Structure 1
């Protein structure tokens, strides 16, 4: 490879033959540079580690995620080891990046904006900090909905850069400017109910008329089943599947496992007892939009304080009855970024925006396109590969 391509060749001068070592070195450097450019700006492979998106995505699915659909994000932490995310290969604690150089958030133009119901990969928005135990030389990951919290004053606390935080994948339920709520386990966007269709798992309590039940046919249908007592089982599946169960002559009753309206769950955003919300009943909440101005008061701050302070990088203080933004008294605030509301299809087994709130645009990685490989960890031999899922598009 000619690294001095700007210099003219002297045809009268014989070319020096490259050594095998030099040829291999040039080839490896070219491959690494090309692959890194493709990975950062075009497309990247990801795997599904948890069941929060079942049945749309299964544990063991390998995806291709497009960076160009929404516009590739310019690396915010540009100095990093190739083909790694936040730790070096074969290590659990060694950083694969240098955070002494940080670039501001910028994004190349994309083909489309994020749309409702897109399946999106994004960086975890809740701090994702780690503490180093100097005595044991171990790292302890710690997540705090308010940014970070020190576990022990003797342990140094560091927060990963945004683009080096864990990658999550969820469905975008609401985009910037939307009003989102949930009632009886059904998402409501801008006043319109958006039930899951042929996808995400819901929990049901199924009681049979007899204790002698063959569960195999139900498992083959796609249900995940847990026994509660001799007659009752928890069935995790779609509304379409449970409709078939209800028609069985052996079924006595089917009850959807929903949290009652008005029951307070301390883990649900905005983590304030004024709002008696839970995973199945919450809202309405307005998702922040770039250029949208809110009043700074007791009604808005439980929802938007974190976005103003952490995501948009402002010093926010309350002095008496007044709010100070970057040291100046303020009664209003105008958002600098668009935000999104992300939820897992497996609604009863998903930590999502119901827990940590809005996802800012600078955390967006890309759009999930299709499954290129899928492994079933419980399968054997050829059944380990889910052949029917190969090269399946993601909806």
Structure 2
């Protein structure tokens, strides 16, 4: 038997030529799908809106955030308008539909979150029912990871300790100082040159300033400066705004802990103290119904003496320690809130700069560390 194949193009079978409009529509559709996949699975752009990470990152920096480092997180709300924020704040309009909600799932990544990484994540505070937002529709924040699951974290006089050892401070970290002068007026140009932010001035001689580490010794060298002293809130002074917001733990932003970060598979005994420290994670982040009846602790309607965590948790803090709302105020960050790792500054705009120095050219394509 002989087989014959005829690959010749039959007359009259050519595909009709696409119109210019159809070609443009196809191109736009392809670009939208490709951009959505890249933004969802590989990386996305992020702008620094505040000074909580100064001087490591500056307000006006635009970053590329890698999603493949820790593994791309699949959407909780898959039906959304691409390329827009979850809410158009000016009109309070949602750009997503929460009629479909998917469980947390993350593809494998290149590495785990490490201490010292600069991480973008959704704001845990917005897990409160009053916000009524799915995880991936919550505000994006950027901070440095200080502690990872299972670590014991302590803050003593602003210094972070992990498992009893002092954690390295960021190269560009900064905090606030009490500055006393001889009464001579300070030159405003000095503040700009040394990247100093004046928080308040109580009288002609006394200032509280946020000063980068590298600028402290320079400021001290000026003849009209009498003293420059770090501002530190003393241990044992209770600050109700600081986690866990309970007088049993007299913690403040400069002295806190010890606190063990929850780890997937870690089991804790349930008592008055652990419920203060971990109830938020058990109830809001891991979606359990918690009730306390006298001395009995009920989880999902059943009496419980212990609890085993389902997720990993992290401690995130800003490098600008006295100008950062971070884990010291709303506690640990659940793994399902993690978006990705900040990798590179691709653009930086100084809103206070003149026309010629609006762009911070020295920060373009600068790796983040």
TM-score, normalised with respect to structure 1: 0.87
1:275 to 231, 249, 252: 249
Deviation track 1:230-282 (CA, whole Å, cap 9, x = no partner) reads: 12222211333212323434321122111111111001100100111111011
How far is 1:91 from its partner? 5.7
2:71 aligns with 71
1:185 to 154, 158, 163: 158
- State how far apart, in whole Å, the 1-side matches of 2:222 and 2:112 are: 45
How far is 1:10 from its partner? 9.8
CA contact (8 A) 2:68 2:109 kept: yes
- State how far apart, in whole Å, the 1-side matches of 2:91 and 2:174 are: 32
CA contact (8 A) 2:184 2:224 kept: no
Runs of 4+ in 1 over 6 A off after TM superposition: none
1:361 aligns with 335
2:91 aligns with 92
- State how far apart, in whole Å, the 2-side matches of 1:31 and 1:318 are: 53
- State how far apart, in whole Å, the 2-side matches of 1:213 and 1:328 are: 64
The change in CA–CA distance for 1:210 and 1:85 in structure 2 (over 3 A counts) is closer
SS of 2:93's equivalent in the other structure is coil
1:374 to 348, 357, 364: 348
2:190 aligns with 217
Correspondence 1:58 to 2:58? yes
- State how far apart, in whole Å, the 1-side matches of 2:82 and 2:186 are: 54
- State how far apart, in whole Å, the 1-side matches of 2:92 and 2:187 are: 47
2:172 to 184, 196, 199: 199
- State how far apart, in whole Å, the 1-side matches of 2:265 and 2:176 are: 40
How far is 1:303 from its partner? 0.7
2:122 aligns with 123
SS of 1:28's equivalent in the other structure is helix
Q: How many residues are aligned here? A: 360
State the superposition RMSD in angstroms. 1.7
2:45 aligns with 45
- State how far apart, in whole Å, the 2-side matches of 1:46 and 1:112 are: 21
How far is 1:358 from its partner? 0.8
Correspondence 1:173 to 2:158? no
Deviates more, 1:105-114 or 1:231-240: 231-240
- State how far apart, in whole Å, the 1-side matches of 2:290 and 2:150 are: 23
- State how far apart, in whole Å, the 2-side matches of 1:63 and 1:212 are: 38
1:343 aligns with 317
Structure 2 gaps, min length 5:
1-6
The change in CA–CA distance for 1:97 and 1:11 in structure 2 (over 3 A counts) is farther
- State how far apart, in whole Å, the 1-side matches of 2:169 and 2:36 are: 37
SS of 2:268's equivalent in the other structure is strand
The change in CA–CA distance for 1:337 and 1:245 in structure 2 (over 3 A counts) is same
- State how far apart, in whole Å, the 2-side matches of 1:212 and 1:33 are: 59
Deviation track 1:162-221 (CA, whole Å, cap 9, x = no partner) reads: 011110101111000111111111111111112524312211111122424435235302
SS of 1:349's equivalent in the other structure is coil
Deviates more, 1:59-68 or 1:224-233: 224-233
- State how far apart, in whole Å, the 1-side matches of 2:38 and 2:186 are: 53
- State how far apart, in whole Å, the 1-side matches of 2:25 and 2:281 are: 46
SS of 1:122's equivalent in the other structure is strand
- State how far apart, in whole Å, the 2-side matches of 1:390 and 1:239 are: 23
The change in CA–CA distance for 1:10 and 1:28 in structure 2 (over 3 A counts) is farther
2:3 aligns with none
CA contact (8 A) 2:170 2:319 kept: no
Deviates more, 1:181-190 or 1:194-203: 194-203
How far is 1:328 from its partner? 1.0
SS of 1:102's equivalent in the other structure is coil
1:292 to 266, 271, 275: 266
